[in-house]
Amino acid sequence: MTEEKKTKKSIKITEKQDALLRKIANAIAIRGMTAPTIFFLESVQPLNYIASQFMAYVEPFLTFVIPREEYNDIQQILEQRKGIDYFLTILEDEEFKKQQHDKQVKQDIKNIKKMEKVAAEERKKLMEKLKKEKEQK
C-alpha cells in the first residue's frame, strides 16, 4: 500500500484516470492476460514517451473505436515516466483480487457439493423411513 501511495505521489493522475486504469486492469485480469501484459509492458517501458507520441499521431483513427476522453487520459499517463509502473501496480492488484475471488468461488462450489451430498443422504433416510411406515400400516 505504501508503495502505491509513493508511486501515486510521483505521478499526476486524476481520480477519473485511476478509475480508467482500474477498469482496463480488471478487464485484463478477468481474461487471464495479466502475465503476458506485464511481460509486454515491462519490455516496452523505456519507450512509454515514444508510445504516447505515436498515440497522438494515430489519434484521429483510434478515437472512432475508443472514446476520445479515455484515449487522451491514457496518452497523458504514458507521457509520465512512472505511468507504466503505476499501471502495473494496479494490474497486479486486480490480479490478486481475481485470484481471491476465484478461491472463494471454488470454496463455495465445494460447500454446495457437500450440502447436496448431505441433502441426498437425508432424502434417502427419509424415503426409507416413509417406506417402513407404509409397510407397517
| pLDDT 10s digits, 76-126 | 888 888 889 999 999 999 999 999 999 999 999 999 999 999 999 999 999
The pLDDT assigned to 9 comes to 54
Measured CA to CA, the distance from residue 9 to residue 3 in angstroms comes to: 10
40-53 pLDDT tens trace: 989 888 888 888 88
Q: How far apart are CA 14 and CA 111, in angstroms?
A: 42
Q: With 0.85 as the threshold, say if the pTM is over it.
A: no
> Which residue, chain included where needed, has cell 478509475?
19
